């Protein structure tokens, strides 16, 4: 089973140039709502592993990316296409909402 792996700021910057479509779950170990959507993000990683990269970024340890994209509330799930942020879903949402946002990019 594929799950979303954790990345750091440097790896994030590399994804901007190397991946056509990717999803970043901005999370933190102390965040209760983040824990609620974590299995949904893992499910997204599993279902879309052949066509999109799905990763997690702990903003407590990676403040550069959080600052760059003005992440003020978490969970925040950012959807990128060709290096551009095209959608940002903040707060707890259903799997269907995450899936629909990703489907729009494919």
Reply yes or no on whether 51 is catalytic.
Answer: no
The kind and range of the H/E element at 16 are helix 9-18
CA distance 24 to 12: 9
Reply yes or no on whether 26 is catalytic.
Answer: no
Structure tokens at 31: 């965040």
Of 23, 24, 31, 89, the catalytic one is 31
Of 4, 34, 37, 55, the catalytic one is 34
Provide the annotated active-site residues: 31, 34
């Amino acid at each position: 089973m594929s799950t979303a792996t954790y990345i750091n700021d440097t790896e994030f910057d590399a994804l901007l140039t190397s991946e056509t479509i990717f999803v970043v779950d901005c999370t933190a170990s102390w965040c209760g709502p983040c824990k609620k959507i974590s299995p949904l993000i893992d499910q997204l990683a599993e279902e879309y592993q052949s066509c999109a990269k799905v990763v997690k970024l702990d903003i407590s340890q990676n403040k550069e990316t959080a600052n760059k994209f003005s992440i003020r509330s978490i969970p925040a799930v950012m959807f990128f296409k060709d290096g551009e942020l095209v959608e940002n879903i903040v707060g707890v949402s259903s799997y269907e909402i995450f899936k629909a946002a990703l489907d729009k990019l494919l």
